[in-house]
Amino acid sequence: MNFKTLILGSLASLLLAISVFGQTQIKPGRAITITILGVPTEEKTRFDGTYPVSESGMINMPHIGTIKAAGLQADALSRVLQDTYKNREIYTNPTIQVLSSTADTLDKQVVHVGGQVRRTGPAEYTQGLTLYQAIQAAGGPTEFGSMYRVKLFRNKTQHSYDLTDAKNMAIVLEPNDTIEVPQKNWYNH
């Protein structure tokens, strides 16, 4: 065996060890980025993004619901997702890529607050953030803002809440929710 073969063999072994052992396991409380290829554009838009891994180790995926992610390496989760989408006949030949975050906490998530608030735009999302707290984080309603008909948009659905009722103040938000504080009507609601 010559020196060149020995060096190449050692280098190949080292690269294999790095690729196998260098991948970190997905951990609860972190975020992972997932992208998909081989699907229609509108599905790719809905699918691609950052997914929080819950404290129980689960992620919530479009069309299939919750999947166990914690404890898996990124490539293993990619295979699980691809197989699940194929087996349920949702996608015929998806190519899914998973990138695990290296941060100790979730990547910054936001909710969007608009309408009659003092500071429109994104507000930082933290677990347990309520509808009322998000509006307050945006500076609260203006003098023209109605807290009687606050709109919450989530996953292509819209709900209206009376935030003068204490039980509605405690509605828990999800990342990327959109909130709109409407203008008061003629009788100040």
* Sites in the chain below the pLDDT cut of 50: 3, 6, 8-22, 104-106
**Residues of 17-39 as b/e, b for ≥16 C-beta within 10 angstroms?**
eeeeeeeeebeeebbbebebeeb
- Quick check: is 12 in a domain? no
Per-residue pLDDT tens over the stretch 46-58: 788 888 888 889 9
In this structure, the answer to whether residues 113 and 94 fall within a common structural domain is no
Task: Provide the CATH number for the domain around residue 86.
Answer: 3.30.1950.10
Domain that includes residue 69, residue range: 24-100
Q: What pLDDT shows up at residue 19?
A: 42
In this structure, the answer to whether residues 172 and 113 fall within a common structural domain is yes
Phi, psi (deg, nearest 5) at residue 15: -65, -40
Q: Which of 48, 80, 100 is the last residue of a domain?
A: 100
Q: What pLDDT shows up at residue 103?
A: 52
- Count structural domains, the chain: 2
- What are the strands of the beta sheet with 49-52, ordered from one edge? 49-52, 31-37, 95-100
